[in-house]
Structure 1
Amino acid sequence: MTVGESVGVERPPRTFSERLTRIVTKSPIHIALALVGLIWLLPTVGLLITSFRPPSEILSTGWWELFGGRFNFTLDNYADVLGSQGMLQAFINSISITVPATIFPVFLAALAAFGFAWIDFPFRDTLFLVVVGLLLVPLQMTLIPLVELFAQLGIFGTFIGLWIAHTAFALPFGIFLLRNFFITLPRDLIEAARIDGAGNVKIFRMIVLPLSVPALASFAIFQFLWTWNDLLMALVFAPRPGGLPMTTQVSSLLGTFGTEWHLLAAASFLIMAVPLIVFFSLQRYFVQGLLAGSVK
């Protein structure tokens, strides 16, 4: 037995028959993954192509006509959406809502997760179970109490109220995810820092945060996508009339211009563009952050 075989390293195929056997063996997996990817990708491609087509062609032919060489490119759909339908202001509102509603939960969840992972205090595990149990509480059950509370505090219908609501609903999942990541960090490293005189704040800032970038990025992606695509919370808590985000604006387009598919396609792709940019910018941290906290 060779060294490679003893540690379970798969040797490369040496003959044509071995290569063919390996390809045939793995082909079903590759085909299945390709089909799933194609199913998810087709609607996005169709939406993108439709957003650049004139209204007359959208109503008369399908978006797949592009592959037959019949395609008239136009930017008028985006100009109409951004200019006459209030989408530009809605885009600014979405940024104003999503960025703080992502930063606050990430910061607060990281602090709480550090406490649950590395600070001993009474009923720590019990309290953590309570936090995890909050994941099971439906969002809809809390809307009326929150509306009444925010109205009494004078923050209902403001960005501050919307930020607080998004932060509150994001914290249980964020604490759960980050705590499971933090406990995988080397205990010897934390104890060595404490022996050298470092307090919890310094350990959190100088050791835990730099080592936890993948988990923080994963939670940030989740929270950004959830907040950006949210409709219910925006309909309830967003300022009116000038503070509504893009999701509510597209919803109004759908109700008012039900047959204006060119406007709906352009507006929908504008909503998709920012989350796609965020995801592809941080995707190298995404899977790493999710899997790192799953085992210890």
Structure 2
Amino acid sequence: MDKIFLKTFNQFVKKSTSDRKLKQFIEIIALVGSARTEEAIDGYSDLDILLLIKCNRVGNINFDIINKLKKIAGDLSKLYNVKISLLTHTFNDLQYYVDLEYLIHYSWGRVAYTQGKNLKKEINKILKERNFTEGDLKKLIIYNVRHGRFNIIRKFVSLNEHNTANYHKILGKELIDYIFELCEWALIYKNEWPDYIFELCEWALIYKNEWPQTKRSLMKQFIKSHNKVVDVNILKRANFLRNQWPKTDEKALKYFMPLAMKFIAKVSAFLIKDHIKKQ
């Protein structure tokens, strides 16, 4: 990982916990996303920081606390030239609305500060309480696939060089990020992990790293299991462009975009057809 991401994260933890009032409201600070897996790319990746913040009965966060966090993030972004994405959650959020995929991703967070709660155990408890059946999980995945497809088409047809500065980079990044997200949903839907039989309510199995935690492991497994469904070279291309992001130019992205749209359409259709067939 670029050292600047880790340095920025450490400074965020230091500044937010040295403010006495702010510290009283912060329950957990954890590093998540590509910086945690050491796959962050300078100029491409955000620094994703999970915050669990104390809230009132209906989940609202004190606005003074929100402003303090905004000031710290702004100061550090200016100092280190890193885009910071603060995932300002509460345990109320985790319990009542955060999606399954995000809960599991959050559970892998590298905790740098806690008031005593164990992030992984708290999320494990929430997952068990939700008591998903396999059918529930598959419906959720198909819902997300349909919504993701709509959202990416909406952006593809709406954004252009006349209404969006740096259009090719903006849309190219959206497509690359969504391709990885879609591939992960496809693996979850088909229960295709090496040496793994998915038992839906046995959440402890997930925490044995059998869910692909890095883009490298996700790519390897998707290519192995879906090479007859779709042209996996497009996934490889997405990864290459991401890794070369500061050097990725408009010409490369222009060529990639229609391929990415076809990849998304094919994988989405494959999953939706399978789900309809089994109804």
TM-score range, shorter chain: under 0.3
TM-score of the two chains, using structure 2 as the length reference: 0.27
Instruction: Identify the structure with the greater strand proportion.
Output: 2
Instruction: Identify the structure with the greater helix proportion.
Output: 1
